[in-house]
Amino acid sequence: MRLGISLIVCLLFCQVFLFGTDYLDVIYLKNGDVAKGMIVENVPNDYVKLEIPGGTILTFKYSEIERFAKEKIETSNSSNHSFNESSGLSASSDFDLDFGFKIGYYSPSEEVMQEIYGSGLFLGGGITIWKGNIGVNICIETFKKDGEPYIFQYGDVEIVEITDASCSIKILPVTMSGLYRIRSSNLPVEPYFGLGIGSFKFKEKIEGEGEYYDPYWEVYYPFSVSTSVSDSEFGFLIVAGVIVDHIFIEAKYTSATFESEGAAGEKCDIGGINISVGIKL
């Protein structure tokens, strides 16, 4: 009796699982073939696994696919009618999760930052959650560079001559961006672009000796300094890039202004232009 009840429950479960959906996934291939079933795995820009009636699983490369569609399941033997037969490769309605790592070149937009530290390499990584063509990216990057300061604010004196000094800077942006991607079989790449905001952490260390000029007494006074400045400021960004297979190329403009007594002066924008290349997993 228990065995019979168990079999009935299993049959009902299988029926709901196999036939509970009203639509079939349809894959149109570039060679003209059409495959219908249920997509069980979808790795964007890589491959798709489709389970067809009978339980067989077929694997298709994205390079073989013309477009996706959905087809309503008919209860009769009449011909099926396609659903969502738009031209091009439509995005999957499922959530996609991408992890990425990148290396890039950062060029500060502030003239004083450029003169003291110049441009340099940075590292970064992030995660992107896609729902169709809309995505949200969370990214962290790090930039470290040594420099040579030539001005420093000492008390109320704005300009100080530095005779022997060194400084170092570390910038750590943690950002969140809204993205939009364009996916089409007519394009060999997948472009994307977006806007974002973030917290730009900044730390600068300065050590040196020099002298400052007292205009009242018209004399120079020697001084030595060893200090560090750290802060966190809100900023924004504009980003655009392209994805080719698992490789992406990205350009980003950032802006975040600090007010502190650092080597770059009282007020400084630590943002700039980033060009990077990376790999997504």
Amino acid letter, 93: S
Alpha helices in the chain (DSSP H): 2-19, 111-116
Closest to 274 measured CA to CA, from 25, 129, 103: 103
Classify domain 95-280 at the CATH topology level: Porin (2.40.160)
Give the number of other CB atoms < 10 A from CB of residue 125: 14
Lowest mean pLDDT among 118-132, 147-161, 202-216, 219-233: 147-161
pTM above 0.75, yes or no: no
CA 101 to centroid of chain Cα atoms: 9
Would you place residue 156 in the very low, low, confident or very high pLDDT band (cuts 50, 70, 90)?
low
Q: pLDDT > 90: what percent of the chain? A: 32
Q: How do the domains of the chain map onto residue ranges?
A: 2-83, 95-280
Q: Which residue has the tokens 């011909």?
A: 79
Distance CA 43, CA 112 (A): 45
Distance, in Å, from the CA atom of 193 to the CA atom of 78, rounded to the nearest integer, reads 44
The amino acid that residue 231 corresponds to is D
pLDDT of residue 260: 60
pLDDT (0 to 100) of residue 151? 58
Which residue type does 98 have? D
Q: Do domains 2-83 and 95-280 have the same CATH topology?
A: no
Phi/psi for 203 (5° steps) reads -140, 130
**What's 2-83's CATH class?**
mainly beta
- Residue-wise pLDDT for 225-238, tens only, equals 788 888 889 999 99
- Render pLDDT for 130-153 as a digit per residue (tens, 0 to 9): 998 899 999 999 999 998 775 555
